[in-house]
């Protein structure tokens, strides 16, 4: 799944560059905009990679709080970000630790076969809407 996400990130990079270079403005401005676009995506990619390297496990509790387990096996408190999307078989979870590290994880599960996935959906449905993203309702 991470390869699919990396591929979609590359597609976003290429589409963004195509749009920037098709704008009817001076070439130097297009080059500046393209450089900014690439720098922004590189920074975001670096942040996500650093978070993925440190993440070993995720816990989400009934009250909506969360913890992430680092490489040192210590559990750190985390908060669910506003960019979470939870569907019946897929979930895109954004977690932020107190140290400012952002963790993103694409999760898959089957409601009929996985008790943990079912429990996660029950917890997600009972979270206040302000803690869920705009697209964060379960389907």
What pLDDT is recorded for position 133?
A: 47
Query: In which band, very low, low, confident or very high, does the pLDDT at 136 lie, cut at 50, 70 and 90?
Result: very low
- On whether the pTM is more than 0.85, the answer is no
What pLDDT is recorded for position 115?
A: 86
Last residue within a domain, chosen from 31, 53, 75: 53
**Model confidence over 105-114: pLDDT tens digits?**
888 888 888 8
What pLDDT is recorded for position 5?
A: 67
Long-range contacts for 6-12 (Cβ within 8 Å, ≥24 apart)?
9/41, 9/45, 12/41
Q: Quote the CA–CA distance of 61 and 67 in Å, as a whole number.
A: 8
**Model confidence over 29-43: pLDDT tens digits?**
999 999 999 999 998
Long-range contacts for 106-112 (Cβ within 8 Å, ≥24 apart)?
106/1, 106/2, 106/5, 108/1
What pLDDT is recorded for position 7?
A: 77
> What percent of the chain is modeled with pLDDT above 90?
21
**Are residues 66 and 30 part of one domain?**
no
What average pLDDT is seen over the chain?
Answer: 81
**Residue-range definition of the domain harbouring residue 68:** 55-131
- Is the residue at 139 inside a domain? no
- Is the residue at 138 inside a domain? no
**Total structural domains within the chain:** 2
Read off the tokens for 75.
Answer: 């559990």
**What is the residue-wise DSSP string for 16-53?**
HHHHHHTSSS-HHHHHHHHHHHHHHHHHHHHHHHHHHH
């Amino acid at each position: 799944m991470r390869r699919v996400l990396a591929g979609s990130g590359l597609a976003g990079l290429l589409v963004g560059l195509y749009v920037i270079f098709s704008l009817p403005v001076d070439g130097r401005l297009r080059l500046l905009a393209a450089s900014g676009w690439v720098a922004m995506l590189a920074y975001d990619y670096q942040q996500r990679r650093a978070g993925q390297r440190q993440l070993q496990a995720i816990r989400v509790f009934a009250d909506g709080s969360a913890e992430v387990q680092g490489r040192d096996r210590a559990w750190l408190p985390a908060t669910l970000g506003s960019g979470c999307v939870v569907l019946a078989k897929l979930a895109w979870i954004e977690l932020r630790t107190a140290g400012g590290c952002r963790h993103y994880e694409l999760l898959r599960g089957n409601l009929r076969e996985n008790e943990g996935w079912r429990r996660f959906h029950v917890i997600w449905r009972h979270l206040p809407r302000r803690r869920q993203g705009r697209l964060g309702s379960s389907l």
